[in-house]
Structure 1
Amino acid sequence: MTEGDVESLFSEAVAHHRAGRVQAAVAGYREVLGAVPAHGHATYNLGVAQRALGQVREAIALWTGLVEREPGRIEALLALSRAFRTLGDDPRSLDYAIRAADQEPRSADAHNLRSNALRSLGRNGEALEALDLALAADPGYALGHANRGHLLSALKRHAEAVQSYRAARTLDPSLPDLTGALLDQQMRGCDWRDFTDLQSEVREGVRRGEPVTIPFTFLAHNDDPADQMACVRTHMKVRFPELPAPAWRGETQVHDRIRVAYVSSDFRTHAVSQLLAGLLEAHDRSRFEIHGYALPPQMADDMRRRVAAACDRFTDVSAWSDEAIVAHMREAGVDIAVDLNGFTTFCRPGIFVRRCAPLQINYLGYPGAMGTLAADYILADSVVIPDAGSVHYDEKIIRLPFAYQPNDNRRQIATETPTRAEAGLPERGFVFCCFNASYKITPPVFDAWADLLASVPGSVLWLLGGDPVIEANLRAEAARRGLDSDRLVFAPKRALPEHLARHRLADLFLDTLPYNAHTTASDALWAGLPLVTCAGRSFAARVAASLLRAVGLPELATSSLEAYRDLALALARDPDRLGALRAKLAASLATAPLFDTDGTRRQVEAAFGIAWRRHLAGLEPRSFDVPPDA
């Protein structure tokens, strides 16, 4: 075959490839390589075609051979970095991105890929430096601006993140998840200038099946569980266009104890571990063998050490690929894998899509559906997922009898209460408070709060502070509603025992909607502070109602913002009624199911046991309720 014949074959294969006839292109590239095995362009293109067919490993083998022969082949280095990121192997993705950047220091793609891998490994400062190099090389690089927004978000530089996202939207508004990311960052900064328009744009995009947002940020401004499930399905389709082969293929091992693996990036000072640590310590070791798998970021704090000590086996997999983690779990004989991340920061759904265990359960970290690609079951209760809401979950639902949320009844509250003056509060006047994260505060909720302040002379609203931009934006919103902005008081961050102690200075906790207080609600109740909530339709919007039921105060859950405002106002005007509620809460703390750590442990173990026995009997997962006496 002459050189001209080879190039003619190559051109024909390229034409097939461009026309979308991928199988024909693969055949053509292979014919070229049969004649000229070292044909670089055919090797690279064959890898591209095979990856499009889901044959990622085959593509990697081709590109690896190519860069061994031609170390300067930058497109192959970039392709390898992308492919290993697809496999969840961020260390190797980083290696190839660095090699590409070394070959071409002005490659925006190389620096962007390097940044992506560094961000996934929790190395945000280095990741930002890499993106700055990408944008210096190409100021019009839309993806670089979007990823810079993601990084600035992780660094809690929300106003700068908004600028990056707006720049990306100007350059390429079709980038995945961009509109949702912009709205999320504006909400985190309490920047509501076009809240309604962006909220509508994201909602309609989700309903069209477009990847306009990620599932977690969608929860903060959408209370429709059907929309949320649609968002999950689109996100998973985009994230996993070709499903990897399952590591667990139906084989069953029977161990002397059920092997349960908890997988999380939050085994550190974090709300998830704060809730879960007591349950982990209480697990019945005669029936369960507990494994912990710690995802990035790496931490070495007291909570990490406590969680590690509570596990029979604890493995730091922060530098491992999804495949390596799954292989380890299969070798360890894990029976039930519990995903504590869902779609939150540093999540690794690829571990669960690869079927790391015979049974996979979505629990605690993410208040919503993940879909059956990642989970067989979701652990909930009858308030957060009532019977009528079941249709919006692809997972089967396990309902615990009281609250799905565990609590650690060893949580310490500092004995010393600060004075009002020390906390920045006025000496007199009713104190409404909300220590929820800023992104949970929406304009309709703030409207209700402003009405309360206007209706209760001398009252103040005590919020979590620490970010001057957020504080300034909220003060401006108060002023726009005719309030003296000094009636907002901001609490600096404190260690948990001191934070819990200062709850004693507040009179009533005001919840948010559609993303309720979760751990912060348990904090308030544990500290003896009554809470008023508005229960919405979705899981995230019903958590506080679940907790109130489990602590004996269901009457503090309302079903509309008007009823929420009216109830809070009635309590603020009736100190005897509010005092009776506070006394009722105080009397229930020792016996309430919400703070019965060992009781919750028994119920969770009963859930695991029922699900596992069904599996051993060869039965498909199904929804069930755990009995109260479990």
Structure 2
Amino acid sequence: MSVKARSNTQFARTRQAYQRAWDNRDFYSAEKHARKLVKGFPEQVFSWRALGASLIELKQPENALETLAEAVRIAPEDAHIAYLRATAYRALKQWDAAAEAATTALQLDPKHTMAYVECARIQQAQGNLDSALDSIVAARNLQPDHVAVLTQSIHIHSSMRKMADVIDDCERLLSVEKRSPELYNLAAVKHCEMGMLDKAAEYYQRALALRPDYLEAFSNHIFNAHYDPNLSGEDIAALIARWHKTFSPKARPQRPDTGRDPQRPLNLGLLSAGLRNHPVGQMITSALEQLPAEQFRLIAYSTSDTEDHITRRLQRLCADWHRMYGCTDDALNARLREDSIDILIDLSGHTDGNRLRLVAREPAPLIVKWVGGLVNTTGLDAIDYLISDSVETPPGCDDQYYEKLIRLPDDYICYLPPDYAPEVGDLPALREGNITFGCLNNPAKINAPLIEEWARLLQETTGSQLLLRSGQYSDPAFCERIWQHFEGAGVERTRILIEGPAKHDEFLDTYNRIDIALDPWPYSGGLTTCEALLMGVPVITLPGPTFAGRHAATHLVNAGLPELVVDSWDAYRARARELVSDLNSLATIRQHLREILTISPVCDAPRFAGHLATALRAIWQRHCTNEAPAALAFEEDGRAVFDGQTTPIPALESTGPTLLSVAQQEARSGFTFDFNGKVVILDNGGRLLDEHMGERLAQLSAFELLVFDPASRHRELVQTDGLQVFPNTSLGNGNPTTLHACLDPAISAPLRPRQDTRGPGRVLTKLPLPTVALDKIEGLPSLDWLTLDHRSDTTAILMAGNKALASTLLLQIRVLIAPVYEGQPEFSDIIAKVQQQGFQLYRMDHPEHVSRLPAPLAAQHPATQLHAIDLLFIPTAERLVTLTPNQREKLAFILHTIFGYRDLVHEILHHDNSERAELYLQETQHDGGLWPTNSQALHTEISPMDRQHSISDDIDRLLGNSAPANTLH
């Protein structure tokens, strides 16, 4: 067999191995095979495409783009490469670049189905649902039974609340693909949203039959079983027992040992996707703010990519905030253990995106379950304690829980009312002349037995009506099903008012049209009950058979309204009739309910925090004495008692500051930029040295300046800790190039000057010039600010820096307008390239003009022709959100200290803390930047960088440890 034939055979075998791994969704193996293809067959475009696709699936979009750049070089007209690039850009939330790449794919191949799907994904992510639907329709016209097309159609129709179309799409999808557990899970979720619980359960069971260890489907199955009125508490307990048997490790993992000091401050880890304006955020934030600062240190692990005002409120309490969205369980496990978490608090439960597999690895000495998908026992041995109260978990139910119960003396949550809540209006019945009942809960909680009971109430209350409002009600087919259920129960559809979604303040204002709120069954309303009371509307509840069914009961009891908790449907209807029989009394109740709620234990953050602190310290002290976890309950005087013990644990006394007061004190103590590591600047061409910025930066001790000096114009400069100059070296693509030494040294450059045999641009000699690719500098600790002069091939530098630029904060690029060099980059090309890498053009600065007058007259009149200008680029709004707080702080520091852009700095600081942003404005009224003025910079606190070796070592490695002898003097 010839060498070529053997090579072809080996390529085919490796490609087949890759395809098998890909088809089995084993993307780690697929990546390994793809790397073999790249190494053995780098001339084949399939090799690079395969590696790029694998890296996208492994959530490494930056590396994927670097790989796909090589694929583009080999096959620039390949539509599938453009599609993959669009997918990678979307993963990075670089929407413009993603849309451009998807459009390019369709221009190259108008019948590329997946390019249409990708367009739909991008448009949906940006909220352009009509355009997304148009794109998916185009894809369906090409391949109506393509799995990805049907799946995306489900997502788009779901976002548009066209639930009938969602169900049709699900049926079509499952008729095409009957062996995918993921698709059965998707269909089950959508049927549950429609209240079609039997069908949802059937699909979950099919998913688990295909893959018994499919945790997401099993967790969804458990969570949604709590909506089903036909399941008893025993039925659900049996389902959780199956989950426990399936997902419990064969051997219990070894937990980390963080020491056994019973009195020291404790590291509390918060693990959740709900650390934002979400039921979790609204029910933990005010309590955490009141924890004693000398006792606890908070470290957050957010598994969501969404942040908002509650996120920022929580961030100011935390010693560390880790964004773990998309991170593997291995990475998160390592992070938790490295941080020496003493008590890990899970705030996800069985909800979507949970990390129960990680929790099962027992990454902390103690693990506690609190709010967030808290509908029942988790079924996980790894969780030691579950925070509850005596209403949610009445005495005698302990044996139903795998965790030991911590029964707080009041509510198990602490509600944070939104500051934008509308005022409470007058009683609607007095204004309208009829009674309006209401339920603003998730419609999945509304079922046939519940509708029958509500229908009886409506029939017993003459002239009454029922107002329902939620997202699913924007779908006509969904509303029709509800109306038909009520008509079947004897109530005219005209008495059932149904409304769709609204912004939260408008949603809350709906209660000003409701007299009495009806709690659903068997899954009760938690946050919705608190919101109803906040708006002056009493809630009637019949507790269900599980934790999920007693949310409203505990909020009502702890708000001092136990009479609204009933024990039968007859009592439910009787309590409603009793309330509407005296409208004047009901109107009085309405005007006082907000105050009753806000002064009750449901909203008493200091009281709640005191009990929570006592409980956490008590279970830690028990751990320190090597005692097994035990149930903990509180006595009336605030002391806690473990089950089996008679000696109470005193309430934790703390006279020191709370986490909130410490955060507020830090904010009031004067504005200080505070970030880890120095600001690393890479200056290609020595522009900052030309502007005499080197000394100014060195005085601040906050910067590390690395200068590539192709023409060796600064080779005599003394090197310091904060300044390194690399003469006769340039950024580029890593390949050697040429330095054109000119009559005027200022024009000497890697770019060739335009033909000029007698003027200053005359080339005297050509010298070899090594270049370094940004992405090859392994010793670079970070790259915060990249400045490029006008003498080098800017486009080549950017093309060779996709990975480094993914975390760069600021680009400053000098651009020539006048024709000086051959092949000098065009203004538009630079902007287009930089935008693809997630930057937006923010400002054009430092213009340089030349005069059209003869030399003797030029000095007497202003020059008018634009010769060169700086382009300043910052991350796009979408990418700015994905930066870490430390990165945003660095960017704000650069923009303030160097450029004096106070408005932009204020906006960036506002992302993480609005109070600090306002303090910044107050204390920097007269501050400007170092460039072009020389204002005094603010004080800055910087933690040292952890550097393995000097950047010089890595530059030397890339240059082969020897620079060419021919250098300019």
Give the CA deviation at 1:550: 1.3
Structure 2 residue identity aligned to 1:565 = R
Q: Does 1:510 align with 2:542?
A: no
> 2-side partners of 1:380 and 1:93: how far apart?
45
Structure 2 equivalent of residue 352 of structure 1: 359
Of 470-479 and 537-546, deviating more is 470-479
> 1-side partners of 2:452 and 2:185: how far apart?
23
Contact 1:142–1:167 (Cα < 8 Å) also in 2 = no
Q: 1:167 to 1:39 in 2, by over 3 A?
A: closer
Q: Deviations over 1:252-281 (max 9, x none)?
A: 236841111212222222222122221122
Q: Does 1:523 align with 2:531?
A: yes
User: Given the alignment, which residue of 298, 309, 315 partners 2:306?
Assistant: 298
> 2-side partners of 1:236 and 1:131: how far apart?
40
Structure 2 residue identity aligned to 1:221 = D
> 2-side partners of 1:202 and 1:321: how far apart?
27
> 1-side partners of 2:497 and 2:311: how far apart?
33
> 1-side partners of 2:190 and 2:244: how far apart?
22
Structure 1 equivalent of residue 540 of structure 2: 532
Q: 1:83 to 1:500 in 2, by over 3 A?
A: closer
Q: Does 1:327 align with 2:328?
A: no
Give the CA deviation at 1:364: 0.8
> 2-side partners of 1:151 and 1:468: how far apart?
13
Structure 1 equivalent of residue 460 of structure 2: 455
Q: Does 1:284 align with 2:289?
A: no
Of 350-359 and 335-344, deviating more is 350-359
Partner SS state of residue 299, structure 2: strand
User: Given the alignment, which residue of 288, 308, 314 partners 2:315?
Assistant: 308
Structure 2 residue identity aligned to 1:427 = E
Of 301-310 and 584-593, deviating more is 584-593
> 2-side partners of 1:568 and 1:232: how far apart?
35
Contact 2:559–2:597 (Cα < 8 Å) also in 1 = yes
Structure 2 equivalent of residue 125 of structure 1: 124
Structure 1 equivalent of residue 257 of structure 2: 251
Structure 2 equivalent of residue 72 of structure 1: 46
Partner SS state of residue 312, structure 1: strand
Q: Which runs of 5+ in 1 are unaligned?
A: 8-35
Give the CA deviation at 1:245: 10
Structure 2 residue identity aligned to 1:440 = K
> 1-side partners of 2:322 and 2:20: how far apart?
38
Partner SS state of residue 267, structure 2: strand
Give the CA deviation at 1:627: 4.0
Structure 1 equivalent of residue 558 of structure 2: 550
Q: Deviations over 1:30-69 (max 9, x none)?
A: xxxxxx9997489769989x999xxx98997676556544
Contact 1:77–1:96 (Cα < 8 Å) also in 2 = no
Partner SS state of residue 316, structure 2: helix
Q: Deviations over 1:284-311 (max 9, x none)?
A: 1110111222222333x32222222232
Partner SS state of residue 394, structure 1: coil
Structure 2 equivalent of residue 25 of structure 1: none
TM-score, normalisation: structure 1:
0.74
Partner SS state of residue 619, structure 1: coil
Contact 1:551–1:594 (Cα < 8 Å) also in 2 = yes
Partner SS state of residue 605, structure 1: helix
Partner SS state of residue 301, structure 2: strand
Partner SS state of residue 283, structure 1: coil
Give the CA deviation at 1:249: 3.6
> 2-side partners of 1:545 and 1:347: how far apart?
26
Give the CA deviation at 1:230: 4.8
> 2-side partners of 1:382 and 1:115: how far apart?
50
Amino-acid identity (%): 24
> 2-side partners of 1:356 and 1:280: how far apart?
22
> 2-side partners of 1:206 and 1:230: how far apart?
18
> 2-side partners of 1:90 and 1:153: how far apart?
28
Higher relative strand content: 2
Structure 1 residue identity aligned to 2:190 = Q
Correspondence 1:90-489 to 2 at 5 A = 125=124, 139-140=144-145, 145=150, 149=154, 153=158, 156-173=161-178, 175-176=180-181, 181-182=186-187, 184-189=189-194, 195=196, 197-198=198-199, 201=202, 214=220, 215-221=222-228, 223-232=231-240, 249-253=255-259, 256-299=264-307, 301-368=308-375, 369-372=377-380, 375-408=383-416, 411=419, 413-415=421-423, 417=425, 427-465=432-470, 467-469=474-476, 470-489=478-497
| Count of matched residue positions in the alignment of Structure 1 and Structure 2 | 579
Give the CA deviation at 1:354: 3.7
Structure 2 residue identity aligned to 1:310 = L
Contact 2:555–2:602 (Cα < 8 Å) also in 1 = yes
Partner SS state of residue 46, structure 2: coil
Of 129-138 and 302-311, deviating more is 129-138
Q: 1:138 to 1:502 in 2, by over 3 A?
A: closer
Partner SS state of residue 399, structure 1: strand
Q: 1:140 to 1:413 in 2, by over 3 A?
A: closer
Contact 2:31–2:51 (Cα < 8 Å) also in 1 = no
Q: 1:313 to 1:154 in 2, by over 3 A?
A: farther
CA RMSD of aligned residues (A): 5.0
> 1-side partners of 2:290 and 2:393: how far apart?
26
Correspondence 1:601-612 to 2 at 5 A = 601-612=609-620
Q: 1:609 to 1:179 in 2, by over 3 A?
A: same
Of 312-321 and 436-445, deviating more is 312-321
Structure 2 residue identity aligned to 1:488 = I
> 2-side partners of 1:344 and 1:97: how far apart?
35
Of 279-288 and 344-353, deviating more is 344-353
The higher radius of gyration belongs to 2
Contact 2:428–2:436 (Cα < 8 Å) also in 1 = no
Structure 1 equivalent of residue 661 of structure 2: none
> 2-side partners of 1:249 and 1:159: how far apart?
48
Partner SS state of residue 573, structure 2: helix
Contact 2:536–2:593 (Cα < 8 Å) also in 1 = yes
> 2-side partners of 1:169 and 1:63: how far apart?
31
> 2-side partners of 1:298 and 1:177: how far apart?
24
> 2-side partners of 1:451 and 1:602: how far apart?
45
Structure 2 residue identity aligned to 1:267 = L
User: Given the alignment, which residue of 591, 600, 603 partners 1:592?
Assistant: 600
Q: 1:92 to 1:242 in 2, by over 3 A?
A: farther
Structure 2 residue identity aligned to 1:253 = G
Structure 2 residue identity aligned to 1:250 = P
Contact 1:47–1:58 (Cα < 8 Å) also in 2 = yes
> 2-side partners of 1:490 and 1:427: how far apart?
18
Partner SS state of residue 360, structure 1: strand
Contact 2:275–2:302 (Cα < 8 Å) also in 1 = yes
Give the CA deviation at 1:217: 2.8
Q: 1:58 to 1:334 in 2, by over 3 A?
A: farther
Structure 2 equivalent of residue 27 of structure 1: none
Partner SS state of residue 259, structure 2: coil
Partner SS state of residue 463, structure 2: coil
> 2-side partners of 1:76 and 1:243: how far apart?
36
Give the CA deviation at 1:153: 4.3
Partner SS state of residue 371, structure 2: coil
Contact 1:517–1:543 (Cα < 8 Å) also in 2 = yes
